[in-house]
Structure 1
């Protein structure tokens, strides 16, 4: 960790705790800052605030009093989830108080080079692929950022021999100043988070900030399947490294006639990738670009991509029983996510498990994607809607009580060579606290099947 003097004896307000705020507060204290933490959760219900107070950090909880800003703070470190329209943040802007997010702090203290990954979809999978490839080739990589590991905490413990593989949200990127990754990736850009950003243009501008401090010595890996990113590429000084599944990108990674290439070098067969679907091929191409730019061997790249089981609950391969494969895609909480999952499988040998919270929508948009399914097993509040859709398409459909019984029923109905996919197309809250809980119960059900 660089012992920078940027914050020494400066009053810094950390707004919002969660993991990133807690980490930022501790790092700032080590750097000699005079830290105040402000969090909306009451003190009695706030273990993180209690712990920070015991460490000698000032905490103010239970609300966000505007008069707190009358103190002479020199910097605000804002939780990325707090919108800029928040009264506390808005007032800080009026006072011209610099506002950063914790990833900026991580950059300032990091001895390790940073690979930054952003995009609408595929960030977590691509970030994890890259880290696994680095580590397989004995290039020490540490996951950080939006993937669940506070960037400043990871940076504080990293050395110059490590690499920070950092997932970055648009919320985090809005709060950077000097942040400069050695390699940056934008997996794709679709419409998202408009409730936070207001417009698609603002959302895209936030994502594009990942490259604003990069130079020609740095590399920006972009998805050239998207015209939008091709257009944006002319507005950076970073060295562009493209990837595509539809165009032969001779300056980057691409697939052609079932083969994956980096520039003119053959890396592996598309069929050798462990994760199905065009979206996962795109993720793999992005990861290959980063790996090759970092001097990683083809052997390590291929070994990881042939065995990569996916991020938990995101089209995660969990195993095979009696030659029937099981995949956990519990993170698919909407129709679009399930459509992407289905694109990677042969419907004629696929059993789909779907259902969950009824938000009042129909599932007509899913019709073309589930046509020809070997079977559909439904559960939860939306089971009747999904069953009606399946029956209209002459798809065999079965009711189950929950995800665990759905897994058992699918196994009973499936034949050797079939695949069972949990991709619910619905939120989990009718039966489960989180999609993670739903996915864990599916995994538990599979493990019980394996024991028998």
Structure 2
């Protein structure tokens, strides 16, 4: 860990706990800051707050005091990524021109290791995992962190010079960065998402684009040549651009051509040998190839991973086959683009299980991808909207249930041999479940109980 003194004797507010807030508070104290933590969860129910309090860090729980910034002489805020900027304390901070960061900025500042940064509306977790596994297979001793579940600053504390941290990054995390500079970065794709948080697509795109913002000519920007909006985010970067495309042959960069994956004109692997299902997986694979090649990764290591890697949990995760029906858990599909890509992965008849938090969008954009859908099981706040979309397509077998556990049984009762039963909600889980992981685990459990 780099010894930095930028936070020494500074009065810093950590706003919101969870994993990232807890790690940030601990780190800031190590760096010599005067740390105050503010979290809405009541102290008696808040294990993280109790732990920090017992270590001597001041913790204020249950409310956001209106005079907190003034009373504690706050000079800087490190906020939990999920807290919106409309929060009263953050509004006050903006009025006072106080810096508001997320913990990934701290991770960058202390890290002795290079960082490979991966963001996008969809495919982040799969691409991050692919990059990590490819580098690992090549003996590069990589680390993995960020939105994938391991707090970035905790990993950065332990990282050593010569290593690389493969970091999955959300728009929430990136919006709170200033100097953050990965050695290689990618925006996989761009789609309307998290508009309830960012307000506009332009603001959402701007947050994603920050991953390219500080690149130098010594760094690499992997750019999706098939996604014009994502590509535009890299227009002003100083990083060396490496393109990838599923649609076009590229003599430089990564592409799919004549049934094979190529990099800089050299064939790496036949697409038929790749285990991951779906055309959308090829986009993630090409991005991963571009990123690992910046670290000198061998074709042999890439092939080893692509012929064995079956995917990540909750992302088109195969669960089981029961009486000729194949069940897939794609609970991480929290928007329409993710579900459309999942539907594209199958040519068999599909029973689609979808629904969840209503963020105000319709589902017209999903309709062109529902050609193989024979039945729809809906749940959650968006159930009526999805039912209207199914009716517009003439899908007669539509059933509303209370939750994903019921959805598993309902889908099986409507299915026939050879069908795919696909949980791909196209919506966030927060209307019924704490996380998409919880939603997917409950579905998988229900599927294993079927007989």
**Length-normalised TM-score, structure 1:** 0.87
CA distance in 2, matches of 1:205, 1:404: 38
Q: Cα distance 1:43–1:314, how it changes in 2: closer, same or farther (>3 A)?
A: same
- Gap change, CA 1:432 and 1:145, over 3 Å in 2: closer
CA distance in 1 between counterparts of 2:200 and 2:92 reads 22
Q: Distance in 2 between matches of 1:372 and 1:114?
A: 41
SS of residue matched to 2:235? helix
- Distance in 2 between the 1:447 and 1:328 partners? 12
Query: Is contact 1:351–1:414 with CA below 8 Å preserved after alignment?
Result: no
Any residues of structure 2 matched to 1:157-196 within 5 Å, and which? 157-196=158-197
Query: Residue 165 of structure 1: SS of its match in structure 2?
Result: strand
Q: Deviations over 1:261-301 (max 9, x none)?
A: 01111111223332233322111110111111112221221
Residue 262 (structure 2) aligns with: 261
Q: Does residue 69 of structure 1 match 2:108?
A: no
Contact 1:356 1:431 in 2 (8 A): no
Which deviates more from structure 2 when the two are superposed, residues 403-412 or residues 8-17?
403-412
3-state SS of 1:117 partner: strand
- Name the CA distance, whole Å, in 2 between partners of 1:157 and 1:104: 16
- How large is the Cα RMSD of the aligned pairs? 3.1
1:284-299 equivalences in 2 (<5 Å): 284-299=285-300
Give TM-score scaled by structure 2 length: 0.87
Kindly state the Cα deviation for residue 372 of structure 1 after the two structures are TM-superposed. Answer: 4.1
Contact preservation (8 Å) 1:372, 1:395: no
Residue of structure 2 equivalent to 1:23: 23
Mapped pair 1:352 → 2:354: no
Q: Give the Cα separation in 2 of the matches to 1:229 and 1:45.
A: 42
Does the Cα contact within 8 Å between 1:352 and 1:423 map onto a contact in 2? no
Query: Does structure 2 retain, via aligned residues, the 8 Å contact 1:171–1:206?
Result: yes
Structure 1 range deviating more: 395-404 or 75-84: 395-404
Note the C-alpha offset of 1:405. Answer: 6.2
When residues 344 and 176 of structure 1 are mapped into structure 2, their CA distance, relative to the original with a 3 A threshold, is: same
1:376 aligns with 2:378: no
- Bigger drift between 281-290 and 58-67 goes to 58-67
1:41 equivalent in structure 2: 41
Partner of 1:7: 7
- 1:309-328 paired onto structure 2 within 5 Å: 309-320=310-321, 325-328=326-329
Deviation string, structure 1 residues 159-178 (Cα, Å, up to 9, x no partner): 22432111112222222222
Does the CA contact (< 8 Å) of 1:253 and 1:260 recur in 2? yes
Report the 3-state secondary structure (helix = DSSP H, G, I; strand = E; otherwise coil) of the residue aligned with 2:189.
coil
Structure 1: gaps spanning 5 or more residues: none
Contact kept? 1:380, 1:431, Cα under 8 Å: no
Counterpart of 1:119? 120
8 A contact 2:274–2:307 mirrored in 1: yes
Q: CA deviation at 1:429?
A: 6.8
Question: 1: distance between equivalents of 2:139 and 2:219?
Answer: 22
Q: CA deviation at 1:31?
A: 1.6
Q: Distance in 2 between matches of 1:91 and 1:394?
A: 52
Q: 1:138 to 1:385 in 2, by over 3 A?
A: same
Matches within 5 A, 1:277-426: 277-320=278-321, 325-346=326-347, 349-356=348-355, 366-373=366-373, 375-376=374-375, 378=377, 380=379, 397=397, 403-404=404-405, 407=408, 413-415=415-417, 418-425=419-426
Aligned residue-pair number = 446
CA–CA separation in structure 1 for the residues paired with 2:159 and 2:281: 29
